[in-house]
Amino acid sequence: MKMTYVALKSLFSSPATANYPAEPKTYYPGTRGHIVLEVSTCTLCKICEIRCPTGAIQVDREGKAWSIERMKCIQCGFCVDSCPRKCLSNDPQYTSPASEKITDRLDVPYEPPKRKPKPETPPA
């Protein structure tokens, strides 16, 4: 009898589910969706590469690029925590499903400081 009440009440209330792909899900601001790099402040210090538990991040100092294998990343946010320049962040949007492994490669316009001691090079 208890269940009849639950079933009938459910029948006359609005569904709790959403018509998902048609109605996009709203995420919380703190959701760890995917990693975003702010290229202008990145110094290619490689700490994220070392810290990443799955080895998804590759930093190429010569080629001046930062790349992430989206399918390898587990969204733990450890790189975000350990980034000394705070240029990494978590975006609430999940990585979209794909049939092949995507690697995102971002060019980082960072100029390493010259030998002469001088304040930080302004980002290009």
Partner 1 sequence: MSGWLSAILYILLAPVAGGLIAGIDRKLTARMQRRIGPPIFQPFYDLFKLIDKENVIVNLYQNLYLTGFLVFNIVAGTLFFAGGDLLLVIFALALSGIFLVLGAASATSPYSHIGAERELIQMMACEPMLLIAAMGLYLLPHSFQVRDILAVDKPLFLYLPGILFGLLYILTIKLRKSPFDLSTSHHAHQEIVKGITTEFSGPALAVVELAHWYETILILGMIYLFFAWNPWVAVPATIGLYLAEILVDNTNARLTWRWTVTSSWLIAAVAGAGNLIVLFYFLKAGF
Partner 2 sequence: MSNRTIIPFGPQHPVLPEPIHLDLVVEDERVIEAIPSFGFIHRGLERLVEKKDFQEFTFVAERVCGICSFIHGMGYCQAVERVMGITLPPRADYLRTFWAELSRIHSHLLWMGLVADAFGFENLFMNSWRIRENILDIVEETTGGRVIFGAAKIGGTRRDVTNDKLKEIGRTLKTIEAELHAITDVFEQDYSVQQRLRGIGILSREDAFDLGAVGPTLRGSGEPMDARCEGYAAYRDIEVEPIVESDCDSYARCMVRIREIYQSFDIIRQVLCRMPDGETEIKVKGYPNGEHFARLEQPRGEVLYYVKGNGTKHLDRFRVRTPTFANIPPLLKMLQGCDLPDVPVIVLTIDPCISCAER
Tokens found for residue 100 = 């092949």
Query: How is 34-53 classified by DSSP, letter by letter?
Result: EEEE-TTT-----HHHHH-T
Q: With contact defined as beta carbons under 8 Å apart, do 33 and 60 qualify?
A: no
> Which tokens is 91 given?
């975006």
Q: Structure tokens of 32?
A: 């760890």
Residue 7 near partner 1 by CB under 8 A: yes
Q: Does 3 bind partner 1 (CB under 8 A)?
A: yes
Q: What does 51 interact with, of partner 1, partner 2, none (CB < 5 to 8 A by kind)?
A: partner 2
Select from 2-10, 35-43, 62-70, 112-120 the region that touches partner 2 (CB under 8 A): 2-10
Query: Would you count residue 18 as binding partner 1 (CB under 8 A)?
Result: yes
| Residue 6 contacts partner 2 per CB under 8 A | yes
Residues 63-102 that bind partner 2 (CB under 8 A): 74-78, 81, 90
Q: Is 74 helix (H, G, I), strand (E, B) or coil?
A: coil
For the chain, the residue count is 124
Task: Give me 23's structure tokens.
Answer: 């109605």
The residue among 2 and 114 lying less far from partner 1, judged by its C-beta, is 2
Which residues bind to partner 2, rule: CB under 8 A?
2-3, 5-7, 9-10, 16, 27-28, 30-32, 51, 53, 74-78, 81, 90
